[in-house]
Amino acid sequence: MHDPTEGGILMGLYELASAGEISLAIDRDAIPISEVTIELCAAAGVDPLRIFSSGVLLATVSVEDVESAIDDLEQAGIDASVIGQVAAAASPSVILDDVIIDTSVRDEMYPLWG
């Protein structure tokens, strides 16, 4: 599990991939993002996957346990989604929108504070 606060969901995914020496194939459309976040990010010209993501938790769960993990979280009142798949890899990476990310991701909020 990982809290992807600084650097956003994309950096958190890369950190998970690095820690596990795995590749993560992510479906952007499966990631729940609130409408207000989408609108604010569009107005600021930033990617919602590359900004602070306080309150989010990323976890890798075995295929056999995914359904029960989702059910348990939802019974506890916690929204949860399957956003991708884990694969063995020679080097850590995140595959998103057919782009391979194999280095740290910069949080897009920092330049807005300058």
pLDDT digits (tens, 9 = 90+) for 45-102: 999 999 988 889 999 999 999 999 999 999 999 999 999 999 999 999 999 989 999 9
Domain around 62: 8-109
Contact 106, 52 (CB under 8 A): no
Q: What is the pLDDT of residue 112?
A: 78
Reduce the DSSP state of residue 99 to 3 states and report it. strand
Residue 29 lies inside a defined structural domain of this protein: yes
Instruction: Please name the residue that has the structure tokens 């056999």.
Output: 64
For residue 15, being part of any structural domain is answered with yes
Q: Is residue 1 part of a domain?
A: no
C-alpha separations of 109 from 28, 53, 71 in Å: 20, 11, 34
CB 25 within 8 A of CB 84: yes
| Residue 52 in domain | yes
**Looking at residue 16, what is its pLDDT?**
95
Answer whether 112's CB lies under 8 Å from 43's CB: no
Token pair recorded at residue 96: 């998103």
Going by pLDDT thresholds of 50, 70 and 90, the confidence category of residue 36 is very high
DSSP string across 39-98: HHHHHHT--GGGS--TT--B----GGGHHHHHHHHHHTT------EEEEE-SS-EEEETT
Provide the pLDDT for residue 7. Answer: 84
Using the predicted structure, report yes or no on whether residue 111 has a pLDDT greater than 80: no
Q: What is the pLDDT of residue 66?
A: 96
User: What's the pLDDT tens digit per position in 8-33?
Assistant: 999 999 999 999 999 999 999 999 99
Residue 63 inside a domain? The answer is: yes
Rounded to two decimals, what is the model's pTM? Answer: 0.90
Q: How many domains does the chain have?
A: 1
CATH number for the domain harbouring residue 26? 3.90.650.10
Decide if 3 is inside a domain. no
